[in-house]
Structure 1
Amino acid sequence: MKKVKLLLLTLLLPILAIAQETQPVKKPVAKKKGPLMGIQADLLRGPYLQMATPTSMTVRWRTNVYDRSRVKYGLSSDSLNMRTDDSSLVNEHIITLKDLKPSTKYFYTVGNLADTTLQGDEENYFYTFPETGSEQLVRIAGFGDCGNNSINQRSVRDQVVNYLGDKYLNAWILMGDNAYSDGTDAEFQAKFFNLYKDNLLKKYPLYPVPGNHDYHDFNSSPANDQNKIAYYQNFSLPTQGEAGGVASNTESYYSYDIANIHFLALDSYGPDKKGTHIYDQMGEQVEWVKKDLAANQNKQWVVAYWHHPPYTMGSHDSDKESLLVKIRENFIKTLEDGGVDLILCGHSHVYERTKLIKGYYGKEADYDAKKYEISSSTALYDGSKNSAPYLKSKTKTDGTVYVVSGSAGALGGHKETWPHNAMYYSNNEVGGAVMLEVEGNRLDLKWICSDGKIGDHFTMMKDVKKDEEKTLKQDKKLTK
């Protein structure tokens, strides 16, 4: 029997050897690496514009495979005679165009080093910022709590685009909660990038701040883990004063200039490296804010924006929610003393606007118009009674206007004491976004609603001579 088994084994060994030699070898699955593997790269996200200055612009996009990066650009869509390349294999493409001319229109395409164009036609263009300190007309749109993939989000977007028409938008800002409900990369794609890619992202540079929902992507709170969340992965923001202001050394908060406006973009939710927050007077962010404001006293206008409002009775209650209370009691005096003219926030899914006020840090019941209002005017500047513009001085801290605009996507809700006593105008029924228009010593803010109407507006002017007050005319710029 043993001899029979040995004979069978002897006969089978060659057959097994042959079978082993002819069996296909399984190759390891390789990552898609674009041209190196003969796979065509496809555009998954963008292009979108970041870190704009008078002489530079950062262009970002995402591809499905690893590829090298090229941006071709020029002064006309049929003459893209300049280019910037990056030979690194990446799927998150970040290219900064330098040595540009201020206030200049550039057309561009995005692609790879094989000169494959992923996107680029006459609708792919941008304008560089005006020279810092210049007084030409600039427009900045502000979207709060936008990323929920709702009908309201689309309607607000469309009405902002309709308002612009052929007018250019120098930049747009986000006041947080940019992708509901957890700020994941997939939510950013579906509820932010996909919705704004055709009308806004590829033309107008974006300067965002995070909200609490943008932090839900990562469960840990230490500041050194913040860069792991999708918000910080998806945006390129100035940390070294590249766009104006004092270097912050973090993308959590930063500053920049557009013409004669200085902007502070702040983080009202995340902790800094020491574990302190925006309401901690000895915290890193507050110390930076003080330095930045002190270094920019020469700017004609100063605007600050972040997510959590100091005053609201919309979907959130600034009397009861501890974060809002701490910001009001411990932080906003720093901004008022530093000469901030306008503060924009989101979080509450409504629109609310104060008059020009100063020194009010208490609860709603503590509000006293005679004590805290610098001006009793509505500032509508439309010929109606008591509608003169707010008048301020460049060299004095003459009060601040506070705006809550958190209904560019999420919408509705109010507390029992709605509207807040400090508010001149409040609306929780219609969504909208704010449009800031500044020319020289005149600032206008308009709330553009999802129904196409301008629901609220006000005008502020600086350094107008007293003897000129009686000659103010609507839609006229005043100078010294």
Structure 2
Amino acid sequence: MIFFFVSITITLAQSTIVTSGDTWKYLDNGSDQGTNWRNVGFNDAAWSTGNSEFGYGESDEATVVSYGGNPDSKHITTYFRKVITLSSAYSSFILRGKRDDGVAIYFNGVQIFKDGLTEPILYNTLATNALDDGQVWLSATLPGNILQVGQNTIAVEIHQAAINSSDISFDFELIGQNSTYISRGPYLQMGTSNSMQIRYRTNVATTSKINYGTDPNNLNTQVSDNVSKSEHLVDLSNLIPNTKYYYNIANSTEIIQSSAQHFFYTAPSIGTEKKTKVWVTGDCGTGTSTQANVKNAFLNYVGNNYIDLWLLLGDNAYSSGYDYEYQTLFFEPYQNSRTMKQTPIFPAPGNHDYYSSSQASRSGAYFQNFTLPINGEIGGPPSYNEGYYSYNYANIHFISLDSYGTETASLYRLSDTLNSPQIAWLKADLAANTQKWTIVYWHHPPYTMGSHNSDTESELRYIREKVLPILERNNVDLVLCGHSHNYERTRLIKGHYGLESTFSANTHNQSSSSARYDGTSDSCPYIKSSTLPNKGIVYVVAGSSGWPSSTQGNYPHDATIYSNSEKGGSMYLEIEGNRLDSKWISENGTVADQFTIMKDVNKNTEVYIVPNTPSLNLQASWLGDFVWENSSITSRTLSINPVIGQRYFVEDSRQCLKDTFLFKVNPNCVNNYQLTNVVGGNSTLNLNANQAISASNILQNGTRVNLSAGKSILLENGFQASNGGVFKAEIKNCVN
């Protein structure tokens, strides 16, 4: 018999015993296994082995199971088994599972959970249809005596609702807990290059303690607080930039939560051109199957890639932003996935986040649940207001704005640009910004015809009319919003502040390209400069991370190049050096839209070299692929023997980008020159020396060469002037 073990070697208040992605034995041949397969000691050596999630038809499976050879008569039942080992007892267990369509779960041969099935459960019993399509995690709390210390057998059967069903899904998690456990989080806040805040909530008041270090087997540093509380904020400081830290959560007597997913990376030093990965969700806290689908699609797409930042675009917990809504609709749907344990969250508030208090009050759950850098801790001037703030990460400046809250007795909002404290702060922030990239996000979009109308809704219209000119005068590259429960994306645009009917593609689009950069027609990246006046901004509405909904009659907005109101989704940004790539990942796992922006590319560079330079390296100005002229080298850097006067070219494979390098010799007067470099055809070379010039090089066809020296010009062996060129040498003093 083959067993697969999960061993817990330390007593934890909350321990992950089985997690998504673990190894199981499974049987997918459609056979009648009776009931003995559920029991301890059953011989499953001949069964297949795979990792969850299991299934077919959804494109999100880690292991694809077979349905047989006939798509119109598929296997009804698929079987799964796993043996675990517990080294200690627990007071209770949390069982979490995904199933499509019906499921029955057995511990040590005893049924402990079922959904969508009625007794008797036979191998050909059809299930009721799973309305969530198996995308929502079901959960149940089980008593501690349901499993024993030592070996235990988990057996699961998944049943189809119809023999021609298009898909099947199964995933499973099991968490053991004792009297004290984490009910919220952990989640990360205030991530800097040398600090991180870990927040969490426990079910009862207890002391706080974080054990952490760079070695997962030696968490040798601790931060603790001996005051008992249920809301815990623990600050880790004096960390090393761009470094991986592991951690667990404890109190004064025991470890409360620990797993292989409990780690984070500190930010790089500000200005570093590190590849940065960002997840963006808008209007996400709905508790719907769409929310689960969007999360799972994103995690499946990025795989094991670490996500550096998580941006929230507002309306993070429906429908009024109360704390219990944050608990059930935001924290619980995300806290068992790795992102919340590993990635700092930087939110923006939406109107629904304010409904639990008032528009003028910043006392609601949103403002209690998030710790925000309002004192300029991570870059940018202090805002001293939890509604809006800014921060730097790598070479990116992020600005989170508040498009719904009011300030002062006059109740100024974001669009009150003459008097709003937020606008005064925003202008100062933009003026002080020195990062290559600037991304601004808030809730209410300036361009939308989705579930909201940016022509008829005044708060959207005023932002477009009054705030966008400020952003466009400064170095803003990308604006992200939610509110409309759909996805809409513009080209690189500038100067449109009126109603939709006044939008002119010829006037306002700064590029006709889709910027998908995928080889399709007119899809080259948007090109911008770090130093020249702002060429335009890409505006994105990404408010369907919780659900897609209805649209206006004239949807999509004329300013958009791509829109989607059929599926939910989230954004994935990758920013490295002078390249920004954005993908909108639909809940079905496809990249439905993408665009690329590049800065400071397509360079024409004159390279001045010292005569006789034997070799030097040329580097393309972008990240991507490279086609060097007359070379098979495909790397970003090319090593050459320079030819004076010759131009070198590098392009990308899609012929969107091109750098040119022209080699010249400094014409200023020097003491002596010894010239051995080839002078390229049809080029011009002027050399001036106080003392002497010696030449042993070749002048190619059509060159024009003028040599001037105060004492001597020596043409040595190897010197050759080709036909069609002009060569002139004269004894003449020179001065700079």
Range of TM-score over shorter length: 0.7 to 0.9
Change (3 A) 1:109 1:476: farther
Separation of aligned partners in 2, 1:155 and 1:477 = 37
Task: Say which of 236, 239, 245 aligns to 1:97.
Answer: 236
Per-residue deviation, 1:43:
1.4
Whole-angstrom distance in 2 between the partners of 1:270 and 1:425: 30
> What is the number of equivalent residue pairs in this alignment?
436
Does 1:241 find its partner at 2:376? yes
- Answer yes or no: is the 8 Å Cα contact 1:355–1:423 preserved in 2: yes
1:154 aligns with 2:154: no
Can you give the 5+ residue segments of structure 1 that lack an aligned partner in the other structure? Answer: 1-38
Name the residue aligned to 2:312.
Answer: 174
1:64 is aligned to 2:171: no
Structure with larger Rg:
2
1:230 is matched with which residue? 365
- How many angstroms does 1:64 deviate by? 2.2
8 A contact 1:441–1:478 mirrored in 2: no
How far residue 479 of structure 1 moved from its aligned partner, in angstroms, is: 9.0
Letter in 2 for 1:124: H
Cα drift, residue 261 of structure 1 = 0.5
The yes-or-no answer on 1:348 pairing with 2:528 is no
Tell me the residue number matched to 2:327: 189
Q: 2-side partners of 1:475 and 1:459: how far apart?
A: 15
Q: Deviations over 1:100-149 (max 9, x none)?
A: 111111110112123x2111121101111111111121100100000000
Alignment of 1:44-59 (within 5 A): 44-59=183-198
Deviation at residue 473 of structure 1 after TM alignment = 3.8
CA distance in structure 2 between the partners assigned to 1:204 and 1:52 by the alignment: 9
Residue in structure 2 matched with residue 389 of structure 1 by the alignment: 525
Quickly say closer, same or farther: Cα 1:160–1:479, change in 2 above 3 A.
farther
Contact kept? 2:264, 2:342, Cα under 8 Å: yes
**Residues 583 and 594, structure 2, Cα contact 8 Å, conserved in 1:** yes
Judging changes above 3 Å, is the alpha-carbon distance between structure 1 residues 473 and 90 closer, same or farther for their aligned structure 2 residues?
farther
Show the counterpart of 1:120. 258
One-letter amino acid of the structure 2 residue matched with residue 346 of structure 1: G
Deviation at 1:264, TM superposition (A): 0.1
1:252 to 387, 394, 397: 387
Relative distance call for 1:449 and 1:344 in structure 2 (3 A) is: same
Q: Distance in 1 between matches of 2:247 and 2:303?
A: 21
Question: Partners of 1:48 and 1:260 in 2: how far apart?
Answer: 24
1:476: Cα distance to partner?
A: 11
**1:475 CA drift (Å):** 12
CA distance in structure 2 between the aligned counterparts of 1:88 and 1:245, rounded to whole angstroms:
34
How far apart in 2 are the matches of 1:254 and 1:474?
A: 39
| Partner AA of 1:161 in structure 2 | L
Equivalent in 570, 581, 592 of residue 444 of structure 1: 581
The separation in 2 between residues aligned to 1:475 and 1:429, in whole angstroms, is 34
CA drift of 1:65 comes to 2.2
Higher relative contact order (CA 8 A, sep 6+): 1
Name the CA distance, whole Å, in 2 between partners of 1:474 and 1:323: 42
Higher deviation after alignment, 433-442 or 372-381: 372-381
Aligned partners of 2:573 and 2:580 also within 8 Å: yes
Do 1:211 and 1:347's aligned partners in 2 also have CA atoms closer than 8 Å? yes
Q: Deviations over 1:429-459 (max 9, x none)?
A: 0110001100100000000110000000000
Cα distance per residue 1:353-400 (max 9 Å; x no partner):
000001110111000011111111111111111111000001231110
Give the Å deviation of 1:40: 4.6
Find the aligned partners of 1:474 and 1:174 in 2 and give their Cα distance. Answer: 34
Unaligned runs of 5+ in 2: 1-177, 605-619, 622-649, 661-736
Distance in 2, Cα, partners of 1:207 & 1:303: 13
AA matched with 2:342: K
2:345 to 200, 206, 213: 206
Deviation at 1:151, TM superposition (A): 0.6
Partner residue in 2 for 1:453: 590
Asked if structure 1 preserves the Cα contact closer than 8 Å seen for 2:362 and 2:386, the reply is no
**Structure 1 position 316 matched with structure 2 position 452:** yes
3-state DSSP of counterpart to 2:362: helix
Q: Deviations over 1:140-192 (max 9, x none)?
A: 01000000001110000001111111111001110000001111111111111
| Structure-1 separation of matches of 2:384 and 2:414 | 16
8 Å Cα contact 1:364-1:422 kept in structure 2: yes
- 1:334 deviation in Å? 0.9
Distance of 2:237 and 2:469 partners within structure 1: 38
Contact 1:356 1:399 in 2 (8 A): yes
1:280 aligns with 2:416: yes
Following superposition, the deviation at residue 90 of structure 1 comes to 2.0
- Contact (CA 8 Å) 1:77, 1:121: kept in 2 or not? no
Residue 278 of structure 1: CA displacement?
0.6
Give the helix-richer structure, 1 or 2. 1
Q: Is the 8 A contact 2:524 2:656 kept in 1?
A: no
Residue identity matched to 1:179: A
- Which residue of structure 2 aligns with residue 412 of structure 1? 549
Residue 263 of structure 1: aligned partner? 398
CA contact (8 A) 2:451 2:486 kept: yes
What amino acid sits opposite 1:255 in the alignment? S
SS of 1:191's equivalent in the other structure is helix
2:518 counterpart letter in structure 1:
D
1:326 counterpart letter in structure 2: Y
Higher strand share: 2
- Opposite residue 317 of structure 2, the aligned amino acid is A
Identity of aligned residues (%): 47
One-letter amino acid matched to 1:339: N
Do structure 1's residue 424 and structure 2's residue 561 form an aligned pair? yes
Per the alignment, residue 471 of structure 1 pairs with 651
Alignment CA distance shift 1:476-1:369 (3 Å): closer
1:302 matched residue in structure 2: 438
Q: Distance in 1 between matches of 2:407 and 2:574?
A: 33
C-alpha distance in 1 between matches for 2:423 and 2:577: 29
- C-alpha change, 1:124 and 1:420, in structure 2 (3 Å) is same
Out of 283, 289, 301, the position equivalent to 1:163 is 301
Checking the alignment, whether the CA contact within 8 Å between 1:442 and 1:477 is kept in structure 2 is: no
- 2:63 — aligned with what? none
Partners of 2:179 and 2:263 in 1: how far apart?
A: 25
